[in-house]
Chain A
Amino acid sequence: MENIALTEAVFYILLSLDEPLHGYGIMQNAEKLSNGRVRLAAGTLYGAINTLLEKGWITFVPGDSGDRKKEYVITESGRKAVFAEIDRLRELVENGEKLTGGWNK
């Protein structure tokens, strides 16, 4: 796994896609998970989804093609990316808390 920092949009898209969702479902889920803080705009989401499809971190849900809304789901490599990101974030939080412990707030 490459050592990269995911964008907030990508992280929440991947987290949302344990179950199949369409674009609007991802937007709603990200907003819910972050208590309203993360509001993915549709254009940003669309770009991120296409990049994730190209990377193979998410895939279309097979079956219902045609004019129905497209649904996406996370893949194995997508899950690996999420775990790697959580490790990275944990390091950030641990170092952040350790080193700011004595700071005046």
Chain B
Amino acid sequence: MRKVIKKLFWAWEYEKEEKWLNEMAAKGLALVDYSLCRYSFEPCEPGEYKFKIQFLEHRTSHPESEQYIRFMEETGAEQVASYLNWVYFRKKAAEGDFEIFSDIESKINHLTLIKKVLLPIGYLNLGVSVMNFVNLAFNFPGALWVPFINLACFALMIFGVHKIQKKINILKKEHAIRE
């Protein structure tokens, strides 16, 4: 029996999302599929699986991503869902801890990858907003509210980048004295 839950997590909240998926698994509901804000669950033994989410450099269908996912699967992880560059892995809890990164540098690289995708989306929205504002001011003043939607998107992305940068800074400080 499949259970679908609609829920929104921003890219910079993937650790919160992971935590939620693990809480669901502890209650006996294992993620089996994901697409835009729709999480599909199927019953499992409570605590049977641990979940991890990773953002890859390329789309999950890219050969390099496929090679990486195959490597992950050789180590006992299983891909349950993917969306754009995001992969959802699970591993049997009986097989022990499930971490994707065991060193600080890899964690920093992972967060940097997410940041590098958010920044251009933010600036693109800022550009569109300014262009539309100028254009509409001259030609169609009644629709001057439209650019503010893009401006809000810009602000949201910058907020996300800031959140991720804070995490990166903490890790960098730690990395200055240990691996």
Residue A83 at the chain B interface, CB threshold 8 Å: no
Residue B75 at the chain A interface, CB threshold 8 Å: yes
Which residue of the partner chain B has the closest CB to A28? B75
**A20-32 interface code vs B (CB 8 A; 1 in, 0 out):** 0011100100000
B103 touching A7 by the CB < 8 A rule? Answer: yes
- Enumerate chain A residues within 8 angstroms of B76, measured Cβ to Cβ: 24
Number of residues of chain B lying within 8 A (CB) of chain A:
20
**B60-84 interface code vs A (CB 8 A; 1 in, 0 out):** 0000000010011011110000000
Partner of B97, one of A8, A39, A69: A39
Residue B140 at the chain A interface, CB threshold 8 Å: no
A41 touching B74 by the CB < 8 A rule? Answer: no
CB contact under 8 A between A41 and B99, given known A24-B75, A69-B74: yes
A residues 1-46 touching B (CB-CB < 8 Å): 7-9, 22-24, 27, 39-46
B residues 20-69 touching A (CB-CB < 8 Å): 54, 68
Residue A102 at the chain B interface, CB threshold 8 Å: no
CB contact under 8 A between A23 and B75, given known A8-B179, A39-B97, A46-B68: yes
Residue A47 at the chain B interface, CB threshold 8 Å: yes
Residue B101 at the chain A interface, CB threshold 8 Å: yes
- Enumerate chain B residues within 8 angstroms of A8, measured Cβ to Cβ: 103, 179
Which residue of the partner chain B has the closest CB to A40? B102
A46 touching B71 by the CB < 8 A rule? Answer: yes
A22 touching B74 by the CB < 8 A rule? Answer: yes
- Enumerate chain A residues within 8 angstroms of B96, measured Cβ to Cβ: 39
A44 touching B71 by the CB < 8 A rule? Answer: no
Please name the 10 residue pairs, one residue from A and one from B, whose CB atoms are nearest each other, closest first.
A41-B102, A43-B100, A41-B99, A42-B75, A44-B102, A44-B106, A24-B75, A43-B101, A44-B101, A44-B103
Interface set of B (CB-CB < 8 Å, partner A): 54, 68, 71-72, 74-77, 96-97, 99-103, 105-106, 109-110, 179
Q: List 13 A-B contacts (CB under 8 A).
A: A8-B179, A9-B103, A22-B74, A24-B75, A24-B76, A39-B97, A39-B99, A41-B101, A42-B100, A43-B101, A44-B106, A46-B68, A69-B74
